[in-house]
Structure 1
Amino acid sequence: MVYSSIFLANEDPSLTTDEKKAQVANADKALSDGQAAVNAATDADGVNQSVANGKTAIDAAHQPGTNLADQKTAANTDLQKEHDAVVKAINEDPSLTTDEKKAQVANADKALSDGQAAVNAATDADGVNSALADGKTAIDAAHKPGTSVDDQKTAANTDLQKEHDAVVKAINEDPSLTTDERQKQVADADKALSDGQAAVNAATDADGVNSALADGKTAIDAAHKPGTSVDDQKTAAKKKIDEEADRIKRQIDSDANLSLEEKNAQKAAVDRQAENAKSKIDSANTADEINDALRSGIIAIDAEYIPGVQKSIQNPVEVHSLVSVSNNKNELPNTGYSNNRSNSIVSLIISTFSGIMLMLGVSKKRKDNGK
């Protein structure tokens, strides 16, 4: 009888190993106690009573556990509760990004599925308990908190500062920009850094930090706007020099108070200044140097035009002197007109002078006749 009880306990799938050991120990004790009672009996009735009591005690040693199906149902329920709690913790974790949360929830889902499959495949209580424990461990492991939000903010602000410094360096080393343009762009980068870090600090979770970081970098990068290439700026500046030189030479040519010799001399000087300015432009390395060469070149070109001075006729003696000189040299002194034009003016002056002298003679004759 005792062996039957022990066999039943050891073969009972509803019992754990520890429960089986305890029940076998109880059966052993019941056997020992029953046999002692039999040996102590003094008559047939005492023997029979001890046997009956011993069997009852031995049979009572085997206590079947909850049936295996119910244990499995309970284990699967426990796994589901563990999964739901872990998923809730994952979704409420501000240190995780949306993508990280999705990945971790998927891992928790898989751990639940695997755990419940193991529970269902178990053939005894030990198997159910082992599958339950392993399933909980796997589900719990699915949640991996990220770096704290404060540490993420610190890292993001550091990244923004590095991005800002790199962009400012690029701005200050950009030869296509003028000093004023550089200063404005650096100011824009400074503002983008300040705004970006403020947004990072205001974030409440990893997604907010990452979004503020990305937006901040974009704004900082946008602060640097390279200018027209240095070569293209040189080409444009030299064109302006040529245009200014042409304009000044047209002014010189249209100045009626300059002689042909003076015009040619001034235009030659303009050409020299233009070539000198273009040479300086070609030697320039930055937008500032190009602009300086352009500015000084235009000033130098403009300075080469010295307008002629128009002379006025004040009295007949000056007219007579002017006519005499013109007759001798066939040109007006310092008028800037060509010989043909000078001759025309001389003829006009002579005619005017003759008319004045005639009028003076007639007036004198009338006075003489009146005396």
Structure 2
Amino acid sequence: MKRLWLTLLLAGVLFSPIFGAATDQKIYPVDSEPFHIITSLYITQGLALPSTAGPHSGDELMKMLDRIDVDRLDPSLKNLYQRVYDELHGQRNVVTWGLETALEAYIHTDTTNFIHEEDWVRGYDERAPLLNIILETFPSRHFYGYSELPVNNTKYTGYDANTGTALSSFFGGSQITTNLIFLPPGNIQKPDLDLGMPYRAFGAFGGENWSVQIGRDKLSWGPGKTGNFMLSDSFKYHNTGRFTTYGKNFKYSLVTSFFPHPAQYHGEKGADDAATIKNFLKAKKGSQEDKISGLYMFLGHRLEGRLFDDKVGLALSESIMYQSKDNLLDLRFLNPSMIYHNYYIRSNSNSLLTFEVDYSPIP
């Protein structure tokens, strides 16, 4: 009898949302269209910026949108408002598949001086993959899953010992290149595929006024266009665990992000930049049986508030970069309310504190 009830309960959980689920816990990326539109609407109505600690859940974006006085919007802005509203309140299938395709070609005449990825305005992060397979899951109103698998060329394929920089045959070495992995300088028999993907893949769960996300995604704390003091979306991804809770006039965020220990690419002793890249490229050719050791973690928390009838926004952020060569983590450092500077563990961490203010002069 217990087995029967367990089976019925499991079936109810799996099939109850089969006709669709709300998007409350969908995680929108830091550069999502809904967030940018909401930000623009806030500015036009003289409000301080919405929370700049992204990414954001659908529930949080809905509450941001509720602050907008629709009657004060021009007709064109009302259309933008309605677009965001329809996106956030729409029903989704339990499982959604997507396939994006793109064909890009790059013509370059100087194959002598401009052969590094950073020389290009449209660099690696701006180039579209040939294929991008997307999977979204909405098991219920409180759970969300996302994964995308891009098929594209790898970023680096070699090393220049004279300049101490990594090289790629896809940036300047040939006059014409494409994102087709089987065309030269690519090789169909041994393609230089980027096997580090997926770069955006995670699970999320939450409820009203709170959200938890675990996986890979971009992070950003602040409204900067070229970068932020503490967290910017310049990183292709973070291996992150993230908790947020928010109300009408405040938001609290706790974020972790994990990286390879410096010993993995510097070696046991410190090294200059050229040696670092050599060690990194050498590690790419290592065996999968090589032991990975060491803990290197970003831990940060951020408190945001709104004052004076939503005209002023404040944000206080603090973080540490914690490392341990022995894979050890003292759990007391995970205290979400602690002042990290007061741990006095300089041998294991480096800390940073930032304060931000934004004000809208528009009446």
TM interval, shorter chain, is under 0.3
More helix per residue: 1 or 2? Answer: 1
More strand per residue: 1 or 2? Answer: 2
- Structure number with bigger Rg: 1
When normalised by structure 2's length, the TM-score is 0.17
Higher relative contact order (Cα pairs below 8 Å, separated by 6+ residues): 2
